[in-house]
């Protein structure tokens, strides 16, 4: 679930931090820049693990800060495919069951990956597993806040870098105000999961 990823970056230390221990100042700047950010095709950055190499520092004309190329390892949340995780149901929608790990919320279990047969209850806004028994079908509700065990089946990275004027000019015209309120903000990193296997699903199903 968590991996230490080797990275390289040039870190700028402003003059007012020169009195601090150099490694501490470097660590603070790296965490400011990366902590709780998604790096494209890497994952969600959590915290600095260690600094492996510091190259020479330079001060450029007109800038009193030091600039240092730093080699380091960073703790990143990036589950491997088929890994089993346990989270809590955040909410349900027609798109599926949305799951949170507390520090990461962009997890979706699509309808086709739920225990079958399943239906979406519009009134309650929850997915329901129609569990078949010898006595007939029983509705098992996937309520908000329930603990759920799922298997990671896929991951989706979205490049959310700002687009330039030329890219913006090619957008479809005729939708004034869409940017302000109409467009849904896309998550830069989304996990897709499944519970359509024995032992997966709500923990209460298997513990009762």
- Is residue 88 within 8 A of residue 149, CB to CB? The reply is no
Answer yes or no: is pLDDT of 177 > 90. no
What pTM value is reported for the model? Answer: 0.81
pLDDT at 173: 47
Most confident region among 51-60, 172-181, 196-205 by mean pLDDT? 51-60
Question: Structure tokens of 98?
Answer: 């949305």
Residue 84: band (very low, low, confident or very high) from pLDDT cuts 50, 70, 90: very high
- The model's confidence at residue 96, banded by pLDDT at 50, 70 and 90, is very high
Percentage of the chain surpassing pLDDT 90? 65
| Gap between the Cα atoms of 41 and 57, Å rounded | 29
In the chain the domains, ranked by start, together with CATH numbers, are 2-77 (3.30.1490.120), 83-159+186-205 (2.40.50.140)
**Nearest residue to 171 (alpha-carbon basis) of 155, 183, 160, 153:** 183
136-141 and 38-39: which strand pairing? unpaired
| pLDDT exceeds 90 at position 33 | yes
- Adjacent-strand bridge partners of 108: 98, 192
* Both tokens assigned to 13: 């230390």
Calculate the alpha carbon distances from 124 to 110, 141, 202 in Å: 18, 10, 17
Q: Which pLDDT does position 172 carry in this prediction?
A: 47
Q: Tokens at residue 61, please?
A: 């004309």
Residue 179 C-alpha from the chain's centroid: 23
pLDDT at residue number 208: 56
DSSP-derived pairing of the beta strands 189-194 and 107-109: parallel
Task: State the Cα–Cα distance between residues 194 and 88, nearest whole angstrom.
Answer: 14
Classified as helix, coil or strand, 37 is coil
Model confidence over 37-67: pLDDT tens digits?
999 999 999 999 999 999 999 999 988 899 9
Q: Rounded CA gap, 76 and 120, in Å?
A: 34
Q: Express as a percent the part of the chain with pLDDT over 70.
A: 87
Tokens of 168: 């913006």
C-beta separation of 104 from 44 below 8 A: yes
Q: Which residues pair with 57 in a beta bridge?
A: 68
pLDDT in tens, 98-121: 999 999 999 999 999 999 888 998
Grouping H, G, I as helix, E, B as strand and the rest as coil, residue 30 is helix
């Amino acid at each position: 679930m968590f991996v230490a990823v080797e990275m390289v970056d040039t870190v700028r230390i402003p003059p007012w931090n020169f009195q601090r221990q150099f490694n501490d100042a470097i660590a603070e700047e790296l965490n400011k820049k990366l902590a709780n950010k998604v790096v494209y095709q890497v994952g969600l950055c959590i915290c600095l693990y260690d600094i492996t190499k510091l190259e020479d520092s330079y001060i450029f004309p007109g800038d009193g800060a030091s600039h240092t190329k730093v080699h380091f390892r960073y703790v990143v949340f990036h589950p491997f495919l088929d890994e089993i995780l346990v989270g809590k149901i955040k909410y349900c929608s027609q798109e599926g069951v949305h799951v949170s790990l507390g520090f990461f919320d962009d997890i979706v279990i699509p309808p086709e990956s739920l225990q079958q047969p399943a239906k979406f209850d519009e009134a309650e806004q929850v997915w329901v597993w129609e569990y078949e028994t010898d006595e007939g079908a029983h509705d098992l509700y996937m309520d908000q806040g329930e603990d759920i065990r799922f298997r990671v089946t896929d991951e989706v990275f979205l490049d959310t870098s700002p687009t330039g004027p030329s890219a913006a000019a090619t957008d479809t015209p005729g939708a004034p105000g869409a940017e302000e309120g109409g467009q849904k903000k896309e998550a830069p990193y989304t996990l897709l999961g499944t519970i359509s296997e024995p032992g997966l699903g709500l923990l209460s199903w298997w513990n009762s």
